[in-house]
Amino acid sequence: MHDDLPAEIRALFTDAELAEIAESKPEPDNKDKPDALGLARSWTLHVEKLDHDRALPYTDRTVWTEHDLAGALFMRDFVEDALARLRPALADKVRRYAATADDLFRSFTTDDPGDRIAKIARIDLAGRGWWWFRVPTSGPIVQDLARY
């Protein structure tokens, strides 16, 4: 359980908390479905990739596009959904971990009305989290967003 998490993240939680987080999944026996902590880790990795790509040229075939940005925002939604399944004190603990990625995301993005990302993700942004209303300030995704 949680063997794929870095030791520094595992150290933030007791074994009992890790077990409780794992049991909070809609399908606790499905090892392919991440729990709240796995989703928060995925959000962190998505944000780090988006930040890393800002320094790369648009022509670099490894950079993520506007669709990958939308995917990352959906990932953040999944984190919130998973947090809602945890008891409040444990959800706050996982939220503190996710907040590091949230802060990084805020550091390289700016407020945006969301019209472009709503078109890209093909969703209505009503009731969506703050992350849906931010876009990177630099990098190849900015060029992608300019087409909308």
Please name which of 109, 132, 104 lies closest in space to residue 45, comparing C-alpha atoms: 104
Read off the tokens for 91: 């959800």
Write the pLDDT tens digit of every residue in 12-38: 999 999 999 999 988 777 778 899 999
List helix spans (H) across 5-87: 7-10, 15-23, 36-53, 66-84
Please name which of 70, 72, 60 lies closest in space to residue 139, comparing C-alpha atoms: 60
Write the pLDDT tens digit of every residue in 67-97: 999 999 999 999 999 999 999 999 999 999 9
Helix (H) or strand (E) holding 116: helix 115-121
Burial class from Cβ neighbours inside 10 Å (0-12, 13-18, 19+) for residue 46 reads: buried
